[in-house]
Structure 1
Amino acid sequence: MRSLKELVRPNILALAPHSIAREENAGYTAHVFLDANENPYNKPYNRYPDPLQRELKEAIAKVKNVESKQIFLGNGSDEAIDLCYRIFCQPGIDNVVAIEPTYSRYKTYADINDVEYRAVPLDDDFQLNAERLLSACDKQTKLIWICTPNNPTGNNINTKEIEKVLRTFNGIIVIDEAYSDFSRQRTFRERLEEFPNIIVLNTFSNAWGCAAIRLGMAFAQEDIIQFFNKVKQPYNISSLTQEQAIEALRNRFDTDEWVRILLGERNRMLQAFSELPSCVKVYPTDANFFLARMTDAQATYDYLANQGIIVRNKTQVTLCDNCLRITIGARAENSELLGALRRFK
C-alpha cells in the first residue's frame, strides 16, 4: 500500500479540521455553554449533537467487534462514498475502478467529483476476475469499489478474488457490505488489521430496519477514519438519529429475528419464482433481494405497477437484460406479489 501521504489529496492533507470549543476543552467539566450561539431554551434539542457520536460508536463497536476509533458514521452510506472521492481523488486527474454491474451511486459520486470511473464487467455468473479488474488500474487509480453481496445481483463476490486484489493493489479498496447481515460469508470488517488499505461500508437501512434515520457506517484503520472526521460536516449526524440508532442496538435481538424471518421468506420466494411461467431464471442471492430474468421484464414491471406493486426494473443495467430486482418483504407482501404474477399472462 502506498502511504496515506501519497494517496490523500494534498489539499486534504493540509486541511485544518473545524474548530469546536467543546472539543478543545474536553478535559474540563463545563455546565455553562456560551460558545456555539445556541438558543438556551427548548432543551434538549437546543444543543448541537456530539460531532463524533462517541456513545453511539461505543455501542456499534461492541456489536460489530471493532474499535470505536475505527468507525466513521455518515448521513447514509452516501456520505461515506462521497467522502472517499473528496479525500483521495483529485478531480480531473485521478480515477477509480469498479465492478459492473454494481451500486450506481459509486459512479454518481465519481461524476459529481469529476473523477474518471472505470467499470469492469463481471462474468456471466456475476463474479469478479481479479486480473481483469487490476488491469484497468494505473498509477492514477486511487480507489477500487467492490460490493459484496453485490447490488443488484445479490451474490457474494468470491473472497479469493477479492483477496488477490487486496494483496496486489497499492491504493484504497472500498468494500461495501451493506447486505452482509443476510450472508454467511465472513465479513472484511473483521479483517481490518490484515488489510490496512480497506474501507468497509455498512448501514442501518437494511437488516436493522432503520432506513428512515439515514445512518451509514465506514470501518477502517484509525488514520483513515481521522481524514473522514476532518472532511465531514461538523455535526453530520443529528441527536435524533443517534438516539434512535442506540435504541436499535439495545434491541439487537429484534434485528436477529427479522433477518431470520427474511431469510426464510427468501428461500420461499426463490423457489416460487423459479416455477413462474414468466420467469426464465432466478439468480443465487446472499442479500435481502434477488435478481430474476423474466420473459419480458418491462411488461412484467408495468403489470405489477398497475397492481400497486413496485419492484425494480434492471433491464438497462449491464448483464441484467430482462431482469427485475425483487426485495424480500413481509410474508403477506411476498404472497401478494406471487399471486399477481401467477395471474400474469
Structure 2
Amino acid sequence: MSHTIAALYKFVDLPDFESLKEPLQAFCERHHVKGTLLLAREGINGTIAGPREGIDAVLAYLRNDPRLADLEHKESWSDERDPFHRMRVRLKKEIVTMGQPNVNTNNAGTYVPPENWNDLISDPDVVLVDTRNDYEVDIGTFKGAVNPNTVTFREFPGWVQSQSAEGGLLDKKRTRKVAMFCTGGIRCEKSTAYMKSQGFDEVYHLQGGILKYLETVPPEQSLWEGECFVFDERVSVGHGLKPGPYIQCRACRHPLSEEERASPKYIRGESCPHCWDDKTEEQRERFRERQRQVDLAAARHEEHIGADMQEQIRQRRALKEARKEAARQRALQKSTQKGAEN
C-alpha cells in the first residue's frame, strides 16, 4: 500500500486551540490517517500519513478554518510499512519547543528558495548554521555547515549566546550574514526570529527546509552531504525524498547505518553503539521485554506499537471462534464418516 506523507506547519494565533483537539483527532482516525499534529496558541505543526484521499480530506478540513486557509504542506511517499503507528493530536505551549514562547515569528529571517540556496551558502562571508539536533546532523548536513551540537532545540538560544561573545562564531564585530536551515522550515522560523531579536540583521533561512531542497535541487548540483533524518518510520530520506538505508535504535532513537548495525553493541530493540554505555541493566531488561512483546505481536500478525487494542481483541476472538468452528466441522465430519462405515 502506498502512503502519502504530508508535513505541515503554520504560525497563527489560535486562542481556542484546546477545543480543536478532539474533533481533529476523530476526523483523522475516521479517514485512516496517522501521525502527530501539535496544537498551541501560536499555531499548528506536524506530519501525517495515510491514503491519498485521507490526506486530502484532512488538509481540506484544516483549511476550512479561515485562519488556516493558506496552510502549506510538503508531500512525500512511502510504499513500505506505515510511516506512523498511531494518530496523536497533542496540546503544547509551543508548536516547536525553543523555550522562547514570546519570540515573534512575524519577524523571521529572509526566505531563500532552494534554487538560490547554493549561491548564498557559497558566500565566504556567510556563517551557515544547522539548527537541528546532533543526532540529525550526524547522518547528513550541508557542506561547510556549523553543528551547534544541541541535544534539543531548547538548547539553541544558549548556543547563540555563547557564540555571540567576543571572539565567538557569531561575534557581531566579524559576523554580518547568518544562514540557517532545518528539516522542513519551522525551526528556522523561530531561530531566525530569535537571532533578529538578538540584534542580527542579515539572517536568512532555507525556504521549505532540507526536504524541499532535496526535492528540488538535482543531485549533481547539490551541496547536501549524506541523508536527511525524518521523524517517522522511514528514518531518513535522500535526494528525490527517497527513503534511505538507516533504521532507528528503539532504545535511544539514534539513526543507525548498516555499519553500526554490524557492531556487537547493537542489539535489536535494546542498545546500539550510541547508547551501549549509558544503559543500566534494569533499562536493558525493560527494552528486552518490550522487544519480546513486539516480536510476539509480529508472530500474530499484529502491531504492538500504536495498534487499536479493541480491534486486536476483536481479531483474536474472531480467530478463536473460527478455529473452534473448524474443529467442530472436523469432528462432525469424522462422526458422519463413522456412521457411514457402520
Q: Would you call these one fold, judging by a TM-score over 0.5?
A: no
Q: TM-score range by the shorter chain?
A: under 0.3
Q: What is the TM-score of this pair, normalised by structure 1?
A: 0.26
Q: What is the TM-score of this pair, normalised by structure 2?
A: 0.26
Identify the structure with bigger relative contact order (alpha carbons < 8 Å, sequence gap 6+). Answer: 1
